[in-house]
Amino acid sequence: MDQLPVDAQDLDAGLTGASISLDHWDEHLHNRFRNNEQSYSRVRLAVNSCHEAGILVTLSVCATREFTTPENLRQYYDLAKAWGAAFIKILEPRQTGRFQDKEVTLGQEQIELLMNFYLQSYTHKQYNHHPLVLYPGFDHRRAGCLGAGNRYLYIDSKGEIHACPFCHGSVGNALHMSLDEATQRLKEKGCTAYGPYTAG
């Protein structure tokens, strides 16, 4: 794949941003995580394509136990800045997809590390020109779930509507249900992707 063009019709339809998964700042480790030797280079091409089309880029990382260290967070953040990303999104691993039935939940110390990194990204002058950090786990533990129709919802490739990418359980299909009805059902059902957090 030499290029990842953005269709002009997407722009005409109002597309303004794209979230692209980059699971490690290290090319080899990202490719190993994705089990694809070309994945990292394709992410880079996708980012460039979005920039050329005037689309804001979010780099999304699943912060696994192995990834969640001060060095990896700093390196990832610096790379996102160098690539011109507007945001980075930090997602905690959950027992779904490739992690089904595996113990992947982060420990308290790693959650503390992500919390502190998130806060520092907004308060330290050294990060004034870095991308904004989106960390749903922080908001969920302090203000409740922002998914489940509160601020966003998740529609999978089949059109099924879920509370968020991690809290699966369709409330209906986007092709046959109005957004208002789906939002109401999601609010009634709620989201359980993130557990409680207690500051140490």
Identify whether the C-beta of residue 89 lies closer than 8 Å to the C-beta of residue 59: yes
- For residue 11, what pLDDT is reported? 53
- For residue 2, what pLDDT is reported? 40
Q: How far apart are CA 149 and CA 25, in angstroms?
A: 32
* Nearest Cα residue to 63 out of 135, 155, 171, 166: 135
Q: Would you call 161 helix, strand, or coil by DSSP?
A: strand
- Domains recognised in the chain with CATH numbers: 8-144 (3.20.20.70), 146-191 (no CATH)
What 3 state SS string does 82-150 have?
A: HCCCCEEEEECCCCCHHHCCCCCCCCHHHHHHHHHHHHHHHHCHHHCCCCEEECHHHHHHHHCCCCCCC
- For residue 69, what pLDDT is reported? 96
- For residue 104, what pLDDT is reported? 74
* Nearest Cα residue to 20 out of 70, 65, 53, 62: 62
With a cut of 50, list the residues of the chain below it in pLDDT: 1-4, 195-200
Give the pTM.
0.74
- For residue 3, what pLDDT is reported? 42
Q: How far apart are CA 129 and CA 96, in angstroms?
A: 34
Question: pLDDT tens-digit profile of 123-159?
Answer: 999 999 999 999 887 777 665 565 565 666 777 878 8
